[in-house]
Amino acid sequence: MRGRRRGATAAPAAVLAALVGVLATGCGTAAQAGSGHGDGKPSAARTPAADVRVVQTLASDGTTVSVGSPAAKTVVSVYEDLRCPVCKDFETRGGGEALRGMVRSGEVRVEYTLASFLDDQLGGEGSQKAANALRAALDAGKFAEYHDVLYAHQPEESVDGYTDAYLLDMASRVKGLRDKDFDAAVKDMKYRGFVIASEQAFDASGATGTPTMKVDGRIVDGWLADGIFDKEMLPTVVRMLARPTDS
């Protein structure tokens, strides 16, 4: 069912350990090793990079919110519904923290597509209102910060708790976000067209539930999907599926 974590076949612990080992030894991504790319020589181990300037923009498609360095070699697409409790698990207890670290280091750029199908399934407008408010936060350069606050304080799924008043209260926790333009955009559903188009983009994406992740256009599915809920495993999953680069 959409809005729930899809079942996946758990990978044996030995397989996961082996994948971690491939990356830890500095041989490049597992995808590169398995496809015969490279010269077979060990590459230098990954070293932490200094934080880069994180840019928050609306992509040219009008539905994708991009967060990260434009120079990032790897693009991670994340499909979420703000009312989905499994999305909260991912963002607050799963791999979300690790993914944000990869954004800050410049290794990846994240592109968010905000679904709102849970409103139809459960009744109410919370998903749509939250997506609209996040689009308004993008205008202030505060999408990522507000996104994290909304998931950290997500109401119960069945309550439809993302009301105008609640969204504005949560926005008060993000320094510099609240002003008359933001408040009006929330109350008037200024970005309703964006919300509708984003749900349509989700429907056309091939994602069958939320959260769903793609790495450089490759969907993370099967047992690998479980890896995105583990902050230690998420970087491994991303690097496995990242397309090889010349650098």
Mention every residue, 6+ apart, whose C-beta is less than 8 A from residue 16. Answer: 227, 233, 236
Domain that holds residue 88: 51-231
Judge whether 3 lies within some domain.
Answer: no
| Residue among 197, 3, 194 nearest 117 (CA) | 3
Judge whether 33 lies within some domain.
Answer: no
pLDDT of the chain along its 247 residues, tens only?
455 443 333 444 444 554 444 333 222 222 222 222 233 333 333 444 567 899 999 999 999 999 999 999 999 999 999 999 999 999 999 999 999 999 999 999 999 999 999 999 999 999 999 999 999 999 999 999 999 999 999 999 989 999 999 999 999 999 999 999 999 999 999 999 999 999 999 999 999 999 999 999 999 999 999 999 999 999 999 999 999 876 5
Judge whether 150 lies within some domain.
Answer: yes
Q: Where are the alpha helices (DSSP H) in 6-64?
A: 13-24, 30-35
Judge whether 28 lies within some domain.
Answer: no
Residue 215, beta-bridge partner list: 76, 218
Judge whether 34 lies within some domain.
Answer: no
Q: How many domains does the chain have?
A: 1
Judge whether 237 lies within some domain.
Answer: no
Judge whether 31 lies within some domain.
Answer: no
CATH of the domain at 218: 3.40.30.10
Cα–Cα distance, 29 to 32 (Å, whole number): 5
Judge whether 44 lies within some domain.
Answer: no
The pTM score is 0.82
